[in-house]
Amino acid sequence: MALKSWNLTIPNTSPAFSYHPYSDGLNTAYGFQIAFSTAFNTQPGEMGQGSSAHVTSLNGAGFLLDFYGNAVYVHGSSSASYDVTLDGTAPVAMPPDDTTGVLFAKDNLIEEHHSITFTTRVATVTGQLFNLTDAVISSSDRILPSQLGFDSSDAFFTYSGRWTTNTVTGVPNNTETRPFQQTTDLGASVLFSFTNASAFAVHGSLNFGHGLYSVSVDNSVPQQMNGSTFWLVPDTVLFFQSGLDPDRSHSVNITNLSANGKFTLSSVVVYALAASVDSPPSSPTSGSPPSGPSSPHKTAAFAAIAGTTVGVVVLLSALLCLFYLRARRKRPAAAAVSPFVAQAAPIASDRKGGNRTAPNDHSPSRTPSPDVNHLLELIAQRIDRRPMEADSASPPRYDYNP
């Protein structure tokens, strides 16, 4: 049977990209900055608006991305040349390209774990910029997976430690505001398990004041990630992994590693090869947030139980009424009263997250790159924002060294 190819898009804001020398600083001449197409921030924590890109004008800046798949497509633009290294092979020199929107593409790879590294070669010419918008990873499965989304309040998650529910206008996006879970407790964690799926992606926000967190899949060595940035990024992929065995049950544990550093969880998307991805739930802890509505398939099971219970109650009520009426037969006649039979009301889930099926992307997407001249103007405006000390204000630098 022929395998079906599908794609997973990783935005440039995702901590899955390890940037060098840092992911978001004060000036593109010293590292990367996050630039948004329609707004710039004047102080840390302001929300970005429009499409985003990671931009640098520093010679030798770069990024690393690890992934599992059989193809990779990196989108963006560059007025400078750059080198690309795939799986530790000799670097491939790439010419400037600020028109096609594709920085690098490689298909027909063996479906396994890969790593790709970009390094800029910026000349001493004023105005050369490199910008990254996203990477698209292709994988293959026996059927096209469905995207099943679980909101952070779902019983799918087991929380440990102190978590609170919060809502911020524009999170996760400017057309929909939904609650999310957050913690500032060192060691607070969240666990979820699933089966019948080959990949998953964790979604949440990034912001100034967010800290480090770790992710462990199937009790593996935890991978450390950095959630700090100057912008409020309302939604991004905090972590992803593909190439999982759909016939096995998988568990994912996320832990906050920063005392007073915030971590937020909005949702998890599971790339499922069956209608249900439920695994036996873990025992909830005292740190669990209030339980949200059940998923649709869980609601159906509950409705069946509730219906059975109501049916038993109705039957007992009918028998009691029958005995009561017989006892009253010898008394003076009275107006006959029909026994009331309760009807079980249908139980429905009003959760917008649930196991909702999102449109699936089955072909490499090409994200339009922000206009270079417009980015230059926005970045110049960012440089003029109110002064901050670089050492204290820059996000923690836990990135790779080329």
Query: Which three-class secondary structure state does DSSP give residue 198?
Result: strand
Digit-coded pLDDT (tens) for 365-378: 454 455 555 555 55
- pLDDT band at 127; cut points 50, 70, 90: confident
Domain with CATH 2.60.120.260 in the chain: 1-143+361-402, 145-293+351-359
> What CATH number is given for 1-143+361-402 in this structure?
2.60.120.260
> What CATH number is given for 145-293+351-359 in this structure?
2.60.120.260
Digit-coded pLDDT (tens) for 234-263: 999 999 999 999 999 999 999 999 999 999
Whether the per-residue pLDDT at 361 is higher than 50: the answer is no
% of residues, the chain, pLDDT over 70: 69
Q: Which one-letter amino acid corresponds to residue 117?
A: T
Long-range contacts of 303-308 (CB under 8 A, 24+ apart): 303/346, 303/347, 306/344, 306/347, 307/344
pLDDT attached to residue 343: 31
Mean pLDDT of the chain: 79
Least confident of 75-89, 128-142, 154-168, 365-379: 365-379
Return d(Cα 135, Cα 365) in angstroms, integer.
Answer: 9
- Contact 257/212 with Cβ under 8 angstroms? yes
pLDDT attached to residue 347: 29
